[in-house]
Each structure stands twice: as structure tokens, then as C-alpha cells.
């Protein structure tokens, strides 16, 4: 079901990206990661809360021995970034000399990813890469080495497929944009 619009709190949203398009992008990302990490055992570090659906679906197509862990950071309030990143739940695995891939639902300003890359680099991984389902290139405020991008999108506020508006909308299988 894909309604022609939805209401969350005080905002209206219209359909933007159907679940099938997301699945195709995720399958393509997985194929690249499978090829690049053949014979290795990467550690995927998922950034909660928004990435949970992306990570669950991506893992279905990863054909490598791997581990998955989670960190939780917060930088959003309402529809915009606060500009301040607060680590809520940190990484418990040792990542020194490991191949680490950070999994993120969306990279826009890059504040969160910059903090995570700096924090993880200090722990001396063998390699550190980023895989994001969505990238908003026109919003980036940091130079970031993002190796795996599912979809580059304009600076629209989106919800669904794990992304929320003040807690609502994460459960939607399709992605909607604010009107």
C-alpha cells in the first residue's frame, strides 16, 4: 500500500521512493561490498535508529562472513540537524586492525559521519568505509570519504524506511517527502 499522501504530526508527505527502488539500490550496494571484501570478515557498524531497516535488508544480500554491531547517535530535532552530535550508545567491539564499514541511513550535513569517522579512526582499524542508503550531496558540510552510496537525493525532508519525523514514520516501507 502506498497512499498518495500521509500526515505525520503537523506535516504532509507525498510518495517519493517505492520500496522496490530501495531494494534494487541495496542489492547493488551489497554486490559491491561482496566483491570488495571477498575473503575478508568485515565488521558492519550500523548507526541507529534510522538505519535499522536498511541494515536488515542489506545483510540479506551480504555473502561474506561478517559481524554486525550498532551505535546510536543523535543530531536531529524535528526536521533539521541541531549541528551537535551526541553519542548515546557506543561501540563495544574492538576494531583495531579490523575492516570496518559504517552503515548509515542518510548522510546530509555529515556532522554525524565526521564524528564517527574521527572516533573510529582513533581506534586504528585496518580500513574504515562508509555505506549509506541516501546521500544529500548539496547539504554536505564536511569532506567525507563515502565509498558506497545507494541513492543521491536532493535536499528534501524524507521519512519512511527507518527515517522519521519526531519518532513517526520509521515503519513505512516506502519513502515519502515533505510537501
Is residue 97 among the annotated active site residues? no
168 Rama class: left (phi>0) / alpha (psi -120 to 50) / beta: beta
The residue annotated as part of the active site, out of 57, 105, 108, 174, is 108
Distance CA 54, CA 103 (A): 8
Mean pLDDT rounded to a whole number for the chain:
92
Q: State the pLDDT at residue 160.
A: 97
Cα separation of the two ends of the chain? 20
Please state the rounded mean pLDDT for residues 16-38: 98
Please state the rounded mean pLDDT for residues 31-56: 97
Distance CA 23, CA 17 (A): 11
Q: State the pLDDT at residue 85.
A: 65
All domains in the chain, ordered by first residue: 15-178 (3.40.50.2020)
Phi, psi values for residue 24, rounded to 5°: -60, -45
Q: State the pLDDT at residue 78.
A: 57
Amino acid at each position: 500500500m502506498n497512499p498518495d499522501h500521509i500526515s505525520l504530526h503537523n506535516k504532509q508527505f507525498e510518495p517519493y521512493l517505492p520500496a522496490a527502488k530501495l531494494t534494487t539500490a541495496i542489492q547493488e550496494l551489497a554486490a559491491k561490498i561482496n566483491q570488495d571484501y571477498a575473503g575478508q570478515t568485515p565488521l558492519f557498524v550500523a548507526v541507529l535508529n534510522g538505519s535499522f531497516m536498511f541494515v536488515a535488508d542489506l545483510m540479506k544480500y551480504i555473502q561474506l562472513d561478517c559481524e554486525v554491531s550498532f551505535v546510536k547517535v543523535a543530531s536531529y530535532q524535528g526536521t533539521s540537524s541541531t549541528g551537535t552530535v551526541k553519542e548515546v550508545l557506543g561501540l563495544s567491539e574492538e576494531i583495531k586492525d579490523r575492516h570496518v564499514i559504517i552503515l548509515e541511513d542518510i548522510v546530509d550535513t555529515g556532522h554525524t559521519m565526521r564524528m564517527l569517522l574521527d572516533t573510529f579512526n582513533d581506534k586504528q582499524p585496518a580500513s574504515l568505509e562508509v555505506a549509506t542508503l541516501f546521500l544529500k550531496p548539496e547539504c554536505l558540510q564536511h569532506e567525507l570519504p563515502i565509498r558506497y552510496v545507494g541513492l543521491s537525493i536532493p535536499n528534501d525532508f524524507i521519512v519512511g524506511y527507518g527515517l522519521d519525523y519526531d519518532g513517526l514514520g520509521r515503519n513505512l516501507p516506502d519513502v515519502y517527502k515533505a510537501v
